[in-house]
């Protein structure tokens, strides 16, 4: 008797979900017009700290969105208020946003968001009635809808999950090409099969910036979490104030604040175990100064310099975006000089546990192994580590996937 009741509950939940439309995920938030000055937009956003995006409407028709982070970065830069304060807000508007009719089924909305590249997971979407502005749908609402899709696992809705995973894989391929262009001597093993893990690399005028993350503890489908993080990174790194450089500590801090807002984390005891947070490490490598700047949580960075010295810099344990991590938490960047021929390795906490001890890794911990084999190429180093691990796989169960990046920065 229990099974039919369970099926009935599942069917009812499915029917309820299918009946929902875009309007159900939106709120009638007051938009701004192209003539609204940037000073007024700034004052509006300051009074509404939870608001991520503003719609821009002309004669009732939506024409674009203003993203809080991009706006604050541009308006808050040196002389930003003086230069842009009296201008119309289209200075910081991006277009075209995702615009949908109020009666669009949620299932179709999810597909539209994924086809849009996943940006709506961060910036939200605009809902219209007969072509005119009706309200804003937030990234939070969209993420919650994606979570329901993951939980229902119906054949029809499963196609959206497949779309998300395919989109994530295409993003990863682009990122790895950027890494290869900056550091041809690299070895990367970072399984990203839908459990929230991923990586992000981008070439810059001065070198390379990157982010490696593992978000399995967030309670949202991993593929969607990866899209969410990537949407933040794309938006963050495209901000006008970051064209000349990026501070990893500031970036991690703002990612933490963003995830807390999106995942609706709170600091009360009832939600203490709501999320383990994101494990991540962000870094920049400046080819001109041969300096690596980094910040993060749980992931560790190791460097073996040209003299064979091992520098180990394990990150902190505070989960990024986690309920247990205070909203006001701040991450600080660290810098390390990278001499010609140095080897850099970044690994998850699970990888360190798996390879770190003498019992699990015959040559000692991971850093010592890299130190002893530093003259090998990065791919050869990675292959040797994987062979060592494979020899012990049959003897252990419940082991974490190895997630490890080894590279030799350009001098």
What is the set of domains in the chain, with CATH numbers?
Answer: 2-152 (3.10.580.10), 165-407 (3.60.40.10)
For position 264, what pLDDT does the model report?
61
CA dihedral 85, 89, 94, 95 (to 10 degrees): -160
- CA angle, 214 as apex, 284 and 174 as ends, to 5°? 55
Task: Give pairs for 150-159: CB < 8 Å, separation 24+.
Answer: 150/220, 150/221, 150/224, 152/10, 152/13, 152/14, 152/17, 154/14, 156/107, 157/107, 157/110, 159/111
Q: State the pLDDT at residue 268.
A: 44
Extract the tokens encoding 243: 């064209």
Q: Which two tokens stand for residue 393?
A: 């796989």
pLDDT number for residue 335: 92
pTM attached to this predicted model: 0.73
**pLDDT at 219 (0 to 100):** 44
Q: What is the pLDDT of residue 57?
A: 97
SS3 398: coil
pLDDT the model gives residue 196: 62
CA distance 131 to 102: 10
Contact between 22 and 102 (Cβ < 8 Å): yes
Return the pLDDT at 318. Answer: 80
* Bridge-based pairing state of the strands 343-347 and 132-137: unpaired
The region, left, alpha or beta by phi > 0 then psi within -120 to 50, assigned to residue 298 is left
> Could you read off the pLDDT of 230-272 as tens digits, one per residue?
878 877 776 655 555 688 999 999 888 888 876 665 444 334 4
pLDDT in tens, 371-396: 889 999 999 999 988 887 777 665 55
Mark the ranges of the chain whose per-residue pLDDT is less than 50. Answer: 1-5, 7, 217-220, 266-274, 357-364, 398
pLDDT at residue number 70: 80
């Amino acid at each position: 008797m229990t099974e039919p009741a369970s099926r009935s509950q599942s069917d009812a939940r499915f029917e309820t979900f299918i009946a929902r439309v875009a309007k159900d995920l939106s709120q009638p938030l007051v938009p701004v017009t192209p003539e609204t000055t940037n000073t007024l937009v700034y004052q509006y956003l300051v009074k509404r700290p939870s608001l991520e995006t503003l719609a821009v409407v002309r004669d009732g028709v939506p024409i674009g969105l203003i993203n809080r982070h991009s706006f604050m970065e541009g308006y808050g830069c040196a002389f930003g208020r003086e230069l842009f304060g009296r201008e119309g807000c289209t200075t910081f508007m991006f277009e075209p946003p995702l615009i949908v009719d109020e009666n669009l089924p949620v299932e179709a909305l999810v597909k539209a968001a994924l086809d849009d590249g996943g940006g709506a997971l961060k910036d939200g979407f605009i809902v219209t009635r007969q072509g005119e502005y009706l309200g804003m749908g937030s990234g939070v609402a969209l993420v919650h809808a994606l979570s329901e899709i993951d939980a229902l696992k119906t054949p029809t809705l499963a196609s959206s999950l497949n779309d998300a995973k395919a989109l994530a894989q295409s993003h990863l391929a682009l990122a790895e090409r950027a890494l290869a262009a900056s550091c041809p001597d690299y070895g990367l093993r970072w399984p990203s099969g839908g459990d929230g893990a991923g990586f992000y690399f981008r070439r810059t005028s001065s070198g390379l910036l990157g982010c490696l993350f593992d978000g399995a503890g967030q309670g949202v489908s991993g593929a969607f979490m990866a899209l969410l993080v990537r949407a933040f990174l794309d938006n963050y790194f495209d901000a006008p104030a970051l064209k000349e450089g990026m501070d990893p500590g500031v970036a991690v801090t703002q990612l933490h604040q963003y995830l807390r807002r999106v995942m609706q984390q709170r600091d009360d005891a009832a939600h203490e175990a709501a999320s383990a947070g994101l494990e991540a490490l962000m870094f920049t490598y400046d080819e001109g100064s041969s300096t690596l700047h980094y910040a993060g949580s749980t992931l560790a960075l190791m460097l073996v310099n040209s003299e064979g010295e091992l520098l180990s810099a394990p990150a902190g344990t505070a989960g990024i975006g986690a309920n247990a991590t205070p909203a006001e938490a701040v991450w600080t960047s660290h810098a390390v000089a990278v001499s010609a021929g140095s080897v850099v390795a970044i690994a998850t906490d699970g990888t360190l546990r798996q390879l770190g001890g003498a019992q699990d890794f015959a040559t000692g911990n991971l850093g010592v192994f890299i130190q002893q084999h530093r003259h090998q190429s990065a791919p050869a180093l990675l292959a040797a580590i994987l062979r060592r691990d494979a020899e012990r796989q049959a003897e252990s169960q419940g082991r974490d996937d190895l997630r490890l990046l080894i590279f030799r920065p350009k001098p």
